[in-house]
Amino acid sequence: MRFVHKKKMEDAIPVLCCGGEGGDREVLREAINRLGYSLAGNCQFDVDDFAVNRFGDSAEKAAGFFTEALLQGAYRFGKKALEADAAERLFELRDGLAAEPDVTVYLVSGREIEAEMKKAERLGRCRNYARMLGDLPANYLTADDFCRYAEELVREKPALSLEIYREQELGRMGCGGILAVNQASRIPAALLRLRYEGTQKGPVTALVGKGIMFDSGGMHLKSMESMEGMKYDMCGAADVLCLLEYAADTGYALPLEGVIPLAENALGEKCVRMGDVITMLSGRMVEVYNTDAEGRLVLADALTFAAGKADRLVDMATLSYSCREALGDETAGFFCNEEELASGTARAAAEAGEPVWRLPLGERYKRRLLWSKTADMANYMPDKKAGASVAACFLEEFTEGLPWVHFDMVGPAVLRKENDRMECGATGTVFSTVVKLLEHG
């Protein structure tokens, strides 16, 4: 898909028309997604009319919003590119795997929209790369394959640097959470640290993404229905990797850290057991009450690691089904320990047109984890009430008091049933929200 700026409409080119009520960015995003989903040939779009009568902001911003939302709808997983040796060549094959229609879209405006259009095009493509990683079968994307992909990405992006810690290093560091979750897997665990220096000095934001390459549930084995789609339990990790790529491509001003823990919650004779006690990177001792509450264990170590290198933390995770039960499949939950950051997150989501809802933290939830006789805390509570808030309070214990926002996106991260605006699979939810949050500083 190509985007070209033109000053005037042409009679011979079909015109895209965007429905939806003016001013509601969620409705507009869905309407533009539908245009992208059904796109079959070259077309043109009147940006100036859209900006005035639908978007309610400048033509430049309207062009950006339209471009990235159109790419979100147009994405298809390119299964024809999934060759036998694809796992070893994912980076080389990624444009075929994150497929788009071969069309030209002319954005028509009398304003100078090209810079914003190109920036938004890059956002849309980076988000679609993250979706592609999520859509890959788990045997094509192990922790080894993810590390290889990250290494090849960084070789192409001189603004990024990468350190990878594997099992021996993680053991020396004391990352008991990551290692416990992965101990039945044949593939070694990993912790990736990506760095982007930025074009200016300023506060460092660490982006942390949950990377469970497949989640069987461990000894608390999932049912067939619950295990379906567990290859998507690394969507947070994919988002963080591709957000760092977007920052490098667009010259984001402030420095960023990307911290990505990778593990597989496999079932086997070596897997962690109910009642086992593990020592986390922070030094806290945790009793494993539920082996299927593994994401918070790997994220806790990653947050502790990130907190030593940043001024604020943003994590993205497909974490708790309780959040999906509360908010459904179209709204991501978020938790935050600082009001200014929470307000900024809500504003960023509204501007991006992505539905999010803030859920509560607090001592009344935290104390439900403090019942263990053998450890400082448990990773789960004996009942499932307020599960999303309890999970978030567990994570908060490992943020070292830094400003922190946690996205629990288990519902909207994956489209489970085909609709008329996106293909089934990874959606890239809250990717644009995090971009807006970073842009606003």
Active site residues: 222, 296
Residue pair 295/219 in contact by the 8 Å Cβ criterion: no
Question: Which is nearest to 228 in space by CA: 241, 243, 217?
Answer: 217
Three-state secondary-structure class, residue 199 = coil
Whole-angstrom distance, CA of residue 153 vs CA of residue 51? 35
List, in order, residues 6 or more apart from 418 with CB less than 8 Å away: 424
Phi, psi values for residue 160, rounded to 5°: -110, 150
Whole-angstrom distance, CA of residue 438 vs CA of residue 256? 9
Whole-angstrom distance, CA of residue 56 vs CA of residue 353? 13
Burial of 363 (0-12, 13-18, 19+ CB in 10 A): exposed
Residue pair 22/55 in contact by the 8 Å Cβ criterion: yes
Whole-angstrom distance, CA of residue 265 vs CA of residue 178? 10
| For helices 431-439 and 235-250, angle between their N-to-C axes, nearest 10 degrees | 40
- Can you name the residues that pair with 260 across neighbouring β-strands? 192
Residue pair 73/34 in contact by the 8 Å Cβ criterion: yes
Q: Tokens representing 170?
A: 């993680």
- Show the CA angle centred on residue 310, arms to residues 403 and 359, nearest 5°: 30
Whole-angstrom distance, CA of residue 205 vs CA of residue 441? 9
Three-state secondary-structure class, residue 378 = strand
Helices (H), 251-293: none
